[in-house]
């Protein structure tokens, strides 16, 4: 099955390897040190850093589960590891430490190098450590509930597809605390993003819209309803985009789904010359005991200022800030931009005006990742959070569909977006209405 989007990344990556790296000499095996083997040394690295994507049904184009599957790729694995192109990770290492940073350390890269140079020896399978166990089809442990869009959405060969919504009742008869959640599209290479909203029974959001069938905003009956589709105060269960990992919140913290809530799937499909149908599911694992903290996904978003991004500019800066209305523990970030996205930063603006950078991402449209802080960070009420985005609307940006065009905010990927999602934890009793922030600059 072709993965048309990520393959573009491959082409780019190969071009971008500096010649100096290609020529650099490789570490010699110290005298007396045996070559690494697949079972003894390489497999544990693959299990820890690669198999989450490189196994059947996941986004990696080839599985690295067995010796036979991996051996032909030994050189390629070494090259990708050496230029830190795999595993994918885009946080500037100068800022912050992240629990889900999959990067290889120097020793691991060295092991992969020496293994490839020794022509990929197998070693002794009987001496291998116990194999990592993967749950079939999921990267979280086996879900206790799976909510699937009842109707598949047809995706055409070409052209724009409007955001597609499907409202699906959970049927949960009691309140649920979600510890882990994962989005699984059936046609993953057509999904640019999915946002799964929680609509509690007392929410009026999109009430008149149909349930259990896909619809787009322009199919909605009236203007008021159409406006509602894009703006909601309801919490999100999670956001999915290519390469993003499932959410697994720390012990004692969980997302809350009130009894009888609906999940609202907001799907952004892109076309790629192959028609398809998609029927996305969300799998959930619940907390064993009610958590002491509740997680909200908040956002710093700028959808109006300043526009447009001028043509042929390579470093166009847009910022937005918000004041935290209550104490909260900052957990993770998920920056979202489109094809001109170049860099995204989250900062704290201190009282004296100095900036503390929490995360800087060298943005790649094809890899939208969650960055989970290694240590949750307590932020006091009144903390000023800033998000800054830079856009490259020049020819130098290989993803740019048209450098001569001014770019406006909008849903489609040739329009731009600036959304800095972030997760915070607050005491479990607080609901979003008492906490809610969505600060736009006015």
- Nearer residue to ligand HEC within complex by CB, 111 or 299: 111
Indicate left, alpha or beta for 224 from its phi (over 0: left) and psi (-120 to 50: alpha): alpha
Collapsed DSSP state (helix, strand, coil) of residue 198: strand
For the window 199-238, what string marks contact with ligand HEC as x by the rule CB under 6 A?
----------------------------------------
Cβ at position 99, least distance to ligand HEC in Å: 15
Cβ at position 164, least distance to ligand HEC in Å: 24
The residues in 99-128 that bind ligand HEC, with binding defined as CB under 6 A, are 102, 104
Among 36, 40, 63, 87, binds ligand HEC (CB under 6 A): 87
DSSP annotation of 41 reads I
Using CB under 6 A as the binding rule, whether residue 80 contacts ligand HEC is answered as yes
DSSP codes joined into one string, 311-356: TTEEEEEEEEEEE-SS-EEEEEEEEE--TTEEEEEEEEE-TTS-EE
* Paired residues of 419 in beta bridges: 301, 336
Using CB under 6 A as the binding rule, whether residue 6 contacts ligand HEC is answered as yes
For the window 238-257, what string marks contact with ligand HEC as x by the rule CB under 6 A?
-----x--------------
* Paired residues of 393 in beta bridges: 313
d(CA 393, CA 104): 32
Cβ at position 244, least distance to ligand HEC in Å: 8
Cβ at position 23, least distance to ligand HEC in Å: 20
Cβ at position 242, least distance to ligand HEC in Å: 8
DSSP codes joined into one string, 369-420: --EEEEEEEEE-TTPEEEEEEEEEESTT-TT-S-TTS-B-B-SSTTSB--EE
- Nearer residue to ligand HEC within complex by CB, 102 or 258: 102
DSSP codes joined into one string, 143-190: PSEEEE-SS-EEE-SSS----EEEEEE---SS-EEEEEEEEE-SSGGG
Cβ at position 132, least distance to ligand HEC in Å: 13
- Tally of CB atoms within 10 A around 202: 8
Rg (CA), the chain: 23
- Nearer residue to ligand HEC within complex by CB, 54 or 184: 54
Using CB under 6 A as the binding rule, whether residue 81 contacts ligand HEC is answered as yes
Using CB under 6 A as the binding rule, whether residue 96 contacts ligand HEC is answered as no
Using CB under 6 A as the binding rule, whether residue 10 contacts ligand HEC is answered as yes
- Nearer residue to ligand HEC within complex by CB, 272 or 412: 272
- Nearer residue to ligand HEC within complex by CB, 9 or 237: 9
Of the candidates 399, 315, 327, 396, the one whose C-alpha atom is nearest the C-alpha of residue 364 is: 399
* Paired residues of 213 in beta bridges: none
Backbone angles phi, psi at 188, to 5 degrees: -60, -35
**Token digits for 301?**
């978003």
The residues in 39-78 that bind ligand HEC, with binding defined as CB under 6 A, are 49-50, 52-54, 59-61, 73, 76-77
Which residues of the chain form contacts with ligand HEC (CB under 6 A)? 6-7, 9-10, 13, 49-50, 52-54, 59-61, 73, 76-77, 80-81, 86-88, 102, 104, 243
């Amino acid at each position: 099955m072709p993965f048309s989007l990520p393959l573009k990344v491959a082409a780019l990556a190969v071009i971008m390897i500096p010649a100096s790296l290609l020529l650099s000499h490789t570490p010699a095996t110290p005298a007396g040190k045996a070559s690494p083997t697949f079972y003894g040394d390489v497999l544990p690295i693959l299990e820890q850093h690669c198999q989450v994507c490189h196994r059947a049904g996941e986004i990696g184009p080839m599985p690295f589960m067995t010796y036979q599957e991996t051996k032909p790729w030994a050189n390629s694995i070494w090259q990708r590891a050496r230029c830190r192109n795999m595993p994918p990770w885009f946080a500037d290492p100068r800022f912050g430490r992240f629990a889900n940073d999959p990067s290889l350390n120097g020793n691991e890269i060295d092991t992969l190098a020496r293994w490839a140079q020794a022509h990929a020896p197998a070693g002794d399978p009987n001496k291998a450590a116990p194999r990592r166990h993967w749950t079939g089809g999921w990267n979280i442990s086996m879900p206790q509930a799976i909510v699937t869009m009842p109707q598949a959405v047809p995706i055409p060969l070409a052209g724009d597809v409007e955001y597609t919504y499907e409202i699906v009742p959970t049927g949960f008869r009691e309140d649920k605390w979600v510890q882990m959640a994962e989005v699984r599209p059936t046609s993953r290479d057509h999904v640019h993003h999915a946002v799964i909203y929680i609509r509690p029974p007392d929410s009026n959001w999109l009430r008149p819209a149909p349930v259990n069938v896909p619809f787009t905003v322009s199919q909605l009956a009236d203007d008021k309803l159409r406006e509602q589709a894009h703006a909601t105060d309801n919490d999100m269960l999670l956001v999915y985009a290519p390469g993003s990992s499932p959410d697994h919140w720390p012990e004692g913290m969980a997302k809350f789904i009130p009894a009888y809530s609906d999940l609202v799937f907001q799907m952004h499909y892109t076309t790629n010359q192959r028609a398809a149908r998609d029927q996305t599911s969300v799998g959930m694992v619940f907390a064993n005991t009610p958590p002491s903290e509740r997680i909200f996904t908040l956002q710093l978003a700028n959808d109006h200022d300043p526009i447009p991004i001028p043509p042929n500019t390579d470093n166009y800066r847009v910022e937005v800030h918000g004041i935290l209305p209550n104490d909260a523990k900052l957990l993770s970030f998920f920056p979202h931009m489109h094809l001109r996205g170049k860099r995204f930063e989250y900062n704290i603006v201190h009282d004296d005006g100095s900036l503390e950078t929490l995360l800087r991402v060298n943005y790649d449209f094809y890899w939208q990742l969650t960055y989970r802080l290694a240590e949750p960070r307590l932020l006091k009420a009144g903390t000023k959070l800033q998000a800054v985005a830079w856009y490259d609307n020049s020819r130098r940006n290989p993803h740019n569909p048209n450098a001569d065009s001014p770019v406006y905010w909008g849903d489609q990927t040739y329009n731009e977006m600036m959304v800095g999602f972030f997760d915070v934890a607050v005491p479990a009793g607080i609901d979003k209405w008492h906490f809610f922030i969505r600060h736009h600059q006015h």
